[in-house]
Amino acid sequence: MKLDPTKMQDWQVAEAAEENMRPLEELTSELGLAYGEMIPMGRTLAKVDYAKVLERLKGAPQGKYIDVTAITPTPLGEGKTTTAIGLIQGLGKIGKSVVGAIRQPSAGPTFNIKGSAAGGGLAQCIPLTPFSIRLTGDIDSITNAHNLAMVALTSRMQHERNYDDARLAKSNLKRLDIDPDAIQMKWAMDFCAQSLRNITIGKGGKMDGFEMESGFQIAVSSEVMAILAVSRDLKDFRKRMGKIVVAYDKQGNKVTTADLEVDGAMTAWMVDALNPTLMQTIEGQPVFVHAGPFANIAIGQSSIIADLIGTRLSDYLVTESGFGADIGFEKFWNLKCRMSGITPNAVVIVATIRALKMHGGGPAVKPGVAMDEAYTREDLGLVEKGCENLVSHIETVKKSGVKPIVCVNSFYTDTKDEIAIVRRIAEQHGALSAVSRHWLKGGDGAIELAEAVVQACEEPAGEFKFLYELETPLRDRIELIAKEVYGADGVSYSDDALEKAKKLEADPETSKMGTCMVKTHLSLSHDPELKNRPTGWTLPIRDIMVYDGAGFVVPIAGGIKLMPGTASNPAYRKIDVDVETGKVEGLF
């Protein structure tokens, strides 16, 4: 069956492609996995025993490492995962040994507006349904492990209120004296549910829990997800799980999961989740799926474990980092690479003519609303003006010492002259450029991009350098990121955030942690309405969280929330099941 994405929806393309999927045994043979390193999870999915692979390949040469990032997107997204999958397929077309490492989608966007993040058209990761719903259970495990910490916290608070010290001692408990106004966690669920952002729990009598203000965050923003993304092995993971700060006591001291004696049980939920899931592209290249999305409210990276095994099992490992280079690549650069010790050979910046026109002053782009005709007719002025945003991202990547490649993810409405402007400006600012039509043509449409990536990888490497050293004080780091990456004039702090920053800088345990910024992905600034490359603004830090287990200090800029909301026309309205075959329809 000929796959034509212009006449088929993404789920129909995926369903047709799944009829010719490569058997798991064939994939694992191509990867060179030894007996026992594949853990079958049904007919089409498997996990890979990372510990066995890393032990066997200790000291093996490392393949080329490519990150895919993007310009500041429209609310529709600009096809970053689609481009990553297309690049994997393109490298396969030119005879390269290649593996992908991408993030597992959250059910929040899958059933809301953005969709599954499996790619699109002829550049997809399959099988689509399990990729989009449940997969091999990692996010369910994260949700349960996270909520177990909340169970331990709230039950402990109830018992400490109801029991005296003698009664606590009979249960071998020491009074933690938790401050109900200093709780650092919320409950987790993997949907967008704005009505659960702020709730009151413990209503009823004294046996019904401790009454207090609480709420929910989306599961993929959990620190447990961040720990999964940055851990190198189970031993490292177990150590980090005991450091999660769930609250502070009334004297201002940390109360951790280890203090609640729940860290071991939380880890028990997560043992299997440390093994990446093995999937494949439509064209049969292997892809590891591990860890989660949302670089605006989380680290937004696939796992270090997947990168460690992928770079040893192939000549090229293609991964992606969430949203634009200002947040996704910045975290890849200064957090993930620092923790993994792996440095990239090339970075792809995905751009679309659509997004560049928006940044150049085009009409607002809104999910569920028909695109204005400005986005389908030629407008060289809008494109050129919008390239200011692209240049900002090129400059960010170059500050790391890595060669950027600007990929124009081409839509059929793009004109030759519009694309030529983007290529000219990219090359004027020190980037390679390529046009890719992977959505329409699969790997064949991504050959130019694949060849540009190979060229960048084969050129003499520049010196990879971080934006800041860990000895840099927290507020200086935040200012560096704000000025050098976002383009702010400076940083302001709420009274609460300033007090926390000073306390963290004085604490030797947290003063050398990484900095994981939380801000909107829809602007270089904190304000999603400020498009292109805004100037004359100050980054407002309204709060600072601490992820001791992950090793991050988390400054929160602007009004961003850890629990997104569901829109008025969500994707779940279009998703259904064929009752004759049991196949899921309508995913995108």
Q: Is 294 a catalytic residue?
A: no
Q: Is 103 a catalytic residue?
A: yes
Q: Which two tokens stand for residue 333?
A: 């650069």
Q: Which of 74, 82, 319, 352 is labelled catalytic?
A: 82
- What single-letter DSSP state applies at residue 378? -
Helix (H) or strand (E) holding 385, with range, is helix 380-399
How would you classify the pairing of strands 277-281 and 46-48? antiparallel
Are 31 and 308 in contact by the 8 Å Cβ rule? The answer is no
Q: Which of 47, 64, 96, 114 is labelled catalytic?
A: 114
Q: Which of 216, 439, 537, 552 is labelled catalytic?
A: 439
Are 386 and 379 in contact by the 8 Å Cβ rule? The answer is no
Q: Is 80 a catalytic residue?
A: yes
Q: Which of 96, 103, 254, 385 is labelled catalytic?
A: 103
Q: Is 7 a catalytic residue?
A: no
Q: Which amino acid is at 200?
A: T
Q: Which of 295, 351, 456, 550 is labelled catalytic?
A: 295
Q: Which amino acid is at 421?
A: I
Q: Which of 47, 52, 64, 80 is labelled catalytic?
A: 80
Q: Which of 323, 329, 537, 552 is labelled catalytic?
A: 323
Alpha-carbon distance of 402 to 227, in angstroms, equals 26
Burial class of residue 11 (count of CB atoms within 10 Å of its CB; 0-12, 13-18, 19+): buried
* HEC profile of 61-126: CCCEEEEEEECCCCCCCCCHHHHHHHHHHHHHHCCCCEEEEECCCCHHHHCCCCCCCCEECCEEEE
Q: Which region holds residue 263: left if phi is over 0, alpha if psi is between -120 and 50, else beta?
A: alpha
CB neighbour list of residue 123: distance below 8 Å, 6 or more residues apart: 82, 83, 85, 86, 89, 281, 282, 438, 439, 442, 443, 446
Q: Which of 411, 423, 512, 574 is labelled catalytic?
A: 411
Q: Is 331 a catalytic residue?
A: no
Q: Is 588 a catalytic residue?
A: no
Closest residue by Cα to residue 187 from 220, 219, 225: 219
| Residues with active-site annotation | 80, 82, 103, 114, 295, 323, 411, 439
